[in-house]
Chain A
Amino acid sequence: MSDYILEMRGITKVFPGVKALENVNLKVRRGDIHAICGENGAGKSTLMKVLSGVYPYGTYDGEIYYEGKECRFTGIHDSEKLGIVIIHQELALVPMLSIAENMFLGNEQATGGMINWSVTRKRAHDLLRKVGLREDPDTLVTNIGTGKQQLVEIAKALAKDVKLLILDEPTASLSERDSQALLDLLLEFKTQGMTSIMISHKLNEIKRVADQITVIRDGQSIETMEREDVTEDRIVTSMVGRTLENRYPHRTPKIGETMFELKNWSVHHPIHPERQIIKNVNLTVRKGEVVGIAGLMGAGRTELAMSVFGRTYGVNITGEVFLHGKKADTSTVGKAVKAGLAYATEDRKVYGLNLIDHIKHNVTIANLPGVSSKAGVIDDMHELKVANEYRRKTNIRSSSVYQITGNLSGGNQQKVVLSKWLFADPDVLILDEPTRGIDVGAKYEIYTIINQLASDGKGIMIISSEMPELLGICDRIYVLNEGRIVGEMEAAEASQEKIMRAIVRGHAREEQLEAAS
């Protein structure tokens, strides 16, 4: 008989119009890493919010037993007292506070309301050491990358004496390398006896670290598998309810003339203009072609895309954009859209969606003229038809197009962003991490949409941190490193090793340049 630290029985949680969880059971063994898998909107995050008291006792049905005792949490402070700490899907750090301040937020090292800074700093330092983050505790969170922020979140959890750590898609926005580091950290905590629950869409990661895997589908717990019995395909089958033959849909590329061209593009940092972020980039996208941009986190891929799209990033931008062989003005978003460019952002909450409005309004906002008369009067019925059409096309799971996007599951929010830009009907579509936080089934659908767009004669540029994804769907791949293109390869000849080698070579060259100057 194993020793269970947690048991959730018959959990049912209803939102107005949506039954998010129905009679879900979950048993977690002490000292395990327990993975939870499921499609977007299956109810994974909701289950963890029930467990951590975000949804307090009384707002759901069912029972929670922790350490053999029934728990009725009224809020997260109750669960935290017992050592249950959740790190949410979206990071919850205050950007303008320091690492140390963030780590002890709400848990300040204080006596009588007076914060003891030396203790705070000392403890922060020790905890950061533990998670392998070598940063000054006084550094502002806004100045460190996402990967490091995730580590700060974990250090913050450790500061609360965590016994059961819940991580909701911790590696979704991390680079390959940062993800590995984080998983290693989890494994190390495990040897120290900590239990963790991890939600992830990255099956290879799950396979690597998880002892047990519970699959949730449509708000119901389907099964719990043991590490030994698991293959990626088995998880997928269980998640989507049928077998999935291929991860990447097949396409025979029909590539035409050059559609989009970037010449000598250089961009400087908006706050430190002396720093050059993009260095003399030249690239092309042809008609019907899917072009990938590979690179490590911080390589400047998003910055490159945003600087092209209406100069929404950077200063002192120089270089030229050509669309259909003609020089194009993309100096404002409006002009870029008019020229036929679209950019679907990687950060759906901050840059992608109006979270307090519903799906319908979010889908049409980038192309209102498409649903209104010349005089600017919106045709309500037409708009509704469009919204429903894209909801179906991208398979957004919601009660209707009138669901507020802030209440959608993370993956479904991503699909709304995608719908918005599909409806804008651009010639060249730049997709920034289009499948971040998206389940395998939906990924396949998004790849299918991308393929469809390509065969419709559009040019597609994809930024992704998942190299297998780039290798699976692109025709050609550029490698960007420290703002410079350091490699270009046909997908047929590309491999993860080749991309990594290009990055390492680029890095070495960059150091040489620096030493020379």
Chain B
Amino acid sequence: MTTETATPTVNAAKASARDAIKANVREYGLIIALIAIMIFFQIMTKGVLFYPVNLTNIVLQNSYIIVMALGMLLVIVAGHIDLSVGSVAGFIGGAAAVLMVDYGFNPFIAAVLCIALGAVIGGVQGYFVAYMKIPSFIVTLAGMLVFKGLLLWLLSGRSLGPFPVEFQMLSAGFIPDFIGPWTLVAPTLNANGGPTPGTGIVLHATTLLIGIIIVALMLFFALKSRRNRESHGYEAEPFGFFIVKNVVMAAIIMFLMYKFASYKGLPNVLIVMAILIAGFVFLTKRMTFGRRIYAMGGNIKAAALSGIMTERLTFYIFSIMGALAGLAGLIYAARLNQATPKAGLGMELDVIAAVFVGGASAMGGIGEVAGAVIGAFIMGVMNNGMGIMGINIDWQQVIKGLVLLGAVAFDLYNKKKA
């Protein structure tokens, strides 16, 4: 009844290209920051950063952080924190070593057992947080100490390895090239008649094919959701902008795939990560489970009065976090090819930093999976780039700390302005 038309509304206004860019700069600000940082280090390292082998390394070095950042995002959006993930990851790595090396377990069975153990550990902590109402900071601080100690006890101070070859493949392996290598430029032969490393261009064809499939799927879904919006009579972004955005994304994906293809192809662990990331994006954006986490983090009292089982939800979140910490512990152990008493030390801080750099709110209720992943890569690329540049570890820490603070400050400033 009231004067709807006289109300100042904007939703009816035709979305202009400028509006779309403005809206998207905020949304893609993190990606742009990551690209800028990569270009910066590409220049500072005189081109080393983008070497195929180095890009592959960046993925391998950060895989376990990213895996845990996915769970940490849920925890932080729910309004909690988990300080125990580093210790739990280390402990699970130790348990994996004991099972496989000392007791000769089948690597696959051992891995499943270890991830389940991680989930149980997370669940126990979650129980204390959710049902006993002990602040997560305290519960997981305790967990951090407990599992750090248990790892030392488990390994009795020694390092345990090596792992069975199949298990090492988790972190050291690459996907097989089903289609066969594709030689663009034949490498020069050395005296023995074998190819000289670093010459010629031989591509991992399967990797390229996967890249093409991903780009095709991405475009398909982007178009479909655009159609869907339009058919329901809602404004979509201008077509030109839509095209440019997707072409740029496609180009970036193909560029990275090309880089991977010119080394050994896609690392196995990247496939694991990609599936997890896709799963968590879907979980948080499209599933009721994810929506409830945001609602709970935003206002737990209102969520409870809306019929959300906040306690059970919290319990599940910590269980998921535990399982992911377990998986991360396996990846880390496989990468080092041994379990060490110091494994996982301080890892939780990198994980938490990644989530906050990625735009999550410490108050809960706000944060995105994509943000956390990009946040992890931002920190990871900086580690890698500064390492190549030969910056001392002490200054690396200082710079990373400042970047964390700066990123969050910038984010808040932007939100205030908006």
A355 near B298 (CB under 8 angstroms)?
yes
- Closest Cβ of chain A to B320, distance in Å, is 15
A352 proximity list for chain B (CB < 8 A)? 302, 305
Per-residue CB proximity of A69-92 to B under 8 Å, as 1/0? 000000000000000000000000
Please name the residue on chain B nearest to A417 by beta carbon: B302
Task: Find out whether the CB atom of A357 lies under 8 angstroms from the CB atom of B298.
Answer: yes
Closest approach, in angstroms, between the C-beta of A24 and any C-beta of chain B?
14
**With A334-B307, A445-B1: A376-B289 Cβ-Cβ less than 8 Å:** yes
A369 to B288, CA, bound (A): 8
How many residues belonging to A are interface residues under a CB distance threshold of 8 Å?
A: 53
Q: B306–A357 contact, CB under 8 A? A: no
- If the complex has contacts A345-B305, A365-B306, are A381 and B228 also in contact, measured as CB distance less than 8 A? yes
| B298 and A350 contact, CB distance less than 8 A | no
On chain A, the residues within 8 Å of B306 by CB distance are 333, 365-366, 420
In the complex formed, the residue of B with least CB distance to A445 is B1
B4 at the interface (CB under 8 A from A): yes
State whether A312 and B304 are in contact (beta carbons under 8 Å apart), knowing that A334-B309, A376-B288 are contacts in the complex.
yes
Beta-carbon contact of A400 and B288 below 8 Å: no
Chain A, 10-47, CB within 8 A of any chain B CB: 16-20, 39, 41
Looking across the interface, which residue of chain A has its beta carbon closest to that of B301? A351
Please tell me if the beta carbons of B365 and A356 are within 8 angstroms of each other in the complex. Answer: yes
Cross-chain contact B305 with A368 (CB below 8 angstroms): no
For the residues of A in contact with B, the DSSP-based class is: mixed
B287 located at the interface, meaning its Cβ lies under 8 Å from any Cβ of chain A in the complex: yes
Evaluate contact between B365 and A354: CB separation under 8 angstroms. Answer: yes
Binds A, one of B7-15, B161-169, B329-337: B7-15
A381 CA to B306 CA in the complex, in Å?
22
Q: How far is the CB of B284 from chain A (nearest CB, A)?
A: 11
B295 touches A357 (CB 8 A): yes
Q: Does B292 contact A (CB under 8 A)?
A: yes
Q: B18 contacts the other chain (Cβ, under 8 Å)?
A: no
State the CA gap A334–B307 with chains docked (Å). Answer: 4
Residue of A351, A353, A420 with most chain B CB atoms under a 10 A cut-off: A351
Smallest Cβ distance from B300 to chain A, in angstroms?
Answer: 9
Give bound CA distance, A20 to B9, whole Å: 11
Inter-subunit contact B366/A372 (CB<8 Å): no
Indicate whether A357 sits within 8 Å of B294 (C-beta atoms), given known contacts A351-B305, A380-B286, A384-B234.
yes
**Contact of A353 with B302 in the complex, beta carbons under 8 Å:** yes
Residues of B within 8 A of A353 (CB): 299, 302
Cα distance A457–B2 when bound, in Å? 27
Contact of B2 among A240, A355, A378 (CB under 8 A): A240
**With A355-B298, A378-B291 in contact, is A337–B229 under 8 Å at CB?**
no
Q: Which A residue's beta carbon lies closest to that of B306?
A: A366
Q: Are A332 and B286 in contact (CB under 8 A)?
A: no
On whether A376 and B287 interact (CB within 8 A), knowing A218-B3, A381-B229, the answer reads yes
Q: Is the CB of A368 within 8 A of B3?
A: no
Provide the residues of chain A in CB contact with B288, threshold 8 Å: 368-369, 372, 376-378
Name the contact of B9 in the complex, choosing from A219, A333, A343, A400 (C-beta under 8 A): A400
B350-373 residues with Cβ-Cβ distance < 8 A to A are 361, 365-366
**Quick check: B307 and A337 within 8 Å, CB to CB?**
yes
The answer to whether A56 has its CB under 8 Å from any CB of chain B is: no
B308 interface residue, CB < 8 Å from A? yes
Is B185's beta carbon under 8 Å from chain A?
Answer: no
Interface residues of A in 320-337 (CB under 8 A from B): 332-334, 336-337
Beyond A361-B291, A378-B288, A385-B232, whether A39 also contacts B9 by CB under 8 A is no
- Measured between beta carbons, the chain B residues less than 8 angstroms from A385 are 232
B303: interface (CB < 8 Å): yes
Neighbouring B residues of A264 by C-beta, 8 Å: none
Cα-based distance from A328 to B6 in the complex (angstroms): 47
The reply to whether B295 and A381 contact each other, CB–CB distance below 8 Å, is no
Q: Per-residue CB proximity of B185-199 to A under 8 Å, as 1/0?
A: 000000000000000
Any B CB within 8 A of the CB of A399: yes
Determine how close the nearest CB of chain B comes to the CB of A339; give it in whole angstroms.
11
Complex: A218 Cα to B418 Cα, angstroms: 22
In angstroms, Cα B105 to Cα A228, docked, is 92
Closest to B296 in A: A354
Give chain A residues whose Cβ lies under 8 Å from the Cβ of B365: 354, 356-357
CA distance A420 to B418 in the complex (A): 27
Which 9 pairs across A and B sit closest by C-beta, in order of nearness? A354-B298, A400-B11, A366-B306, A17-B10, A368-B288, A19-B8, A376-B288, A337-B307, A333-B307
Q: List 23 A-B contacts (CB under 8 A).
A: A18-B8, A18-B10, A20-B8, A219-B8, A240-B1, A241-B3, A310-B307, A333-B305, A333-B307, A350-B299, A350-B302, A351-B305, A354-B298, A354-B302, A354-B303, A356-B365, A361-B291, A366-B307, A368-B291, A381-B228, A399-B11, A400-B10, A441-B1
17 new A-B contacts, CB < 8 A, other than A17-B8, A357-B294, A397-B2, are A41-B7, A218-B6, A240-B1, A309-B305, A310-B307, A345-B305, A352-B302, A354-B294, A355-B299, A357-B365, A361-B291, A361-B295, A378-B288, A381-B232, A384-B234, A420-B306, A445-B1
